[in-house]
Structure 1
């Protein structure tokens, strides 16, 4: 039987996941306020999840929640993340909560650390918006028992080239800061595996295999662009190293295991 997935907040990651799943025989529906950008193989469901009213969602086997705040301040995050989770729960009451619910959060909830952080690390968010994301994780656990939380870091890929642009422009950056990232297509692979696995982990870091200093990443990109390495501008945070061992055991293979393969694909 064809499985049906609801993609709640179906933006870039949700659309890429929906297209991947549809190629694997799933039926995918995208929930967003404006559905004109959805590809043909994703069934559009126009809905404002922060205010669903009496609109109900169809029965599904799974729901993947990939939300993007309308703005950068705390209230924007609270409205989008907390409001949409409550609205989604309300709109699913008639058809029932799917047996598998996946929330895409962020490693920002962990804060900064001098050591290497696994999924067992206690979150200590420093940014106010990250505190809202952690609150959203807790709310999702209350509303959707058994929810699986995936925390990506530094998503880059097609249309996500801000670091390339900064290097090209020579924007100063903190060379010593430890950074973590994942290519969008590899994040889609992680979510795909989570949906199809019999017993996926309840929490995963979606990051590649090599945490790296920002200066090293910038130097690699600069070499590809044949431009000078941007100047160093020391900051106030050393960043953090995220352990991806659990994800590597769970996901068959990353297409872009480090930033080198990822940026090669974008700059080729």
Structure 2
């Protein structure tokens, strides 16, 4: 198969390498040059995407990150990157024989924030503008490719750096409440995205998480103890965040390596 990656960051690079090793042809689109020698790289603005000179594309992965421009605030960056890009991408793909379009979104589309349980049967009801824009992106791709589109909603992605958590361990002395958080290792996310290409009859959407929601203060405490730092004080038993479970991912036969 000829597989196109729209957006070529750390996750895309892992997926592309695995699919190349399986014998697939890889083409990527990004804003900057890339060094992987196994893929053809196109440096393009996705808002003016031109695939007219590209060999017929069978499958597409869309993995974008919000634009970082001085003129954009956080909400505008989401609008520009995720929503405004859909129409030019769909138009550029119109002449290609797309069999599967895998779009990476986020569990941010679920607005629950009081420790509730979330799974793939939960109806997304975002409570912030970024979540609403991600859901709008999902709807637009699903409308354009009703039979081919699969939405993937990862929880917090980890595995590339421990700097943020180490800094939290060093600077957190008090924590306001029990805040549930959910994680997926970047290698597991990449393997699941590869896995989805080969699922014969995929669901319309999948949550991708390790199915082990944990209060964030407990993760910080674990690090503080490992680093022999003073331990934080939990100020309240009130619950925020959400407990997310990837039921469809597990039902698809996928096995996590980092659980």
Distance, in Å, in 1 between the alignment partners of 2:45 and 2:240 is 38
Is 1:101 the counterpart of 2:101? The answer is: yes
User: Which residue pairs with 1:116 in the alignment?
Assistant: 117
TM-score under structure 1 length normalisation: 0.85
The worse-fitting range, judged by mean Cα deviation, of 140-149 and 170-179 is 170-179
Structure 1 unaligned blocks of 5 or more: 258-268
1-side partners of 2:28 and 2:67: how far apart?
A: 18
CA distance in 1, matches of 2:151, 2:98: 15
Q: How does 1:1-268 map to 2 (within 5 A)?
A: 3-36=1-34, 38-52=35-49, 57-71=54-68, 73-94=74-95, 96-113=96-113, 114-146=115-147, 147-159=149-161, 161-170=163-172, 173-232=175-234, 238-257=240-259
- Cα distance between partner residues in 2 of 1:27 and 1:246: 28
Partner of 1:44, secondary structure, is strand
Q: CA RMSD in A?
A: 2.3
Native 8 Å contact 1:190 1:251 kept in 2: no
Residues 240-249 or 126-135, more deviating = 240-249
- Which stretches of structure 1, 4 residues or more, deviate above 6 A after TM superposition? 233-237
Measure, in 1, the Cα distance between the counterparts of 2:129 and 2:28.
29
CA–CA distance in 2 between the matches of 1:235 and 1:10? 41
State the distance in 1 between where 2:65 and 2:159 align: 17
Query: Could you tell me how far apart the structure 2 residues matched to 1:18 and 1:136 are?
Result: 23
Structure 1 residue 176: deviation in Å? 0.4
Is the CA contact 2:177–2:238 (under 8 Å) kept in the aligned structure 1?
Answer: no
Aligned to 1:265: none
Partners of 2:164 and 2:250 in 1: CA distance: 26
Greater displacement, 164-173 / 45-54: 164-173
Q: Which runs of 5+ in 2 are unaligned?
A: none
The answer to which structure has the higher strand fraction is: 2
- Alpha-carbon distance between aligned partners in 1 of 2:195 and 2:136, rounded to the nearest angstrom: 26
Q: Compare 136-145 and 217-226 and name the one that shifted more.
A: 217-226
**For the residues of structure 2 that align with 1:15 and 1:244, how far apart are their CA atoms?**
23
SS state of the match for residue 101, structure 2? strand
* Distance in 2, Cα, partners of 1:111 & 1:53: 36
Does the 8 Å contact 2:51/2:93 carry over to 1? Answer: no
CA contact (8 A) 2:177 2:235 kept: yes
Q: TM-score, with normalisation over the residues of structure 2?
A: 0.88
1:233-264 CA-to-partner distances (Å, cap 9, x unmatched) read 7699711111222211224311111xxxxxxx
- Give secondary structure in 2 for the equivalent of 1:31: strand
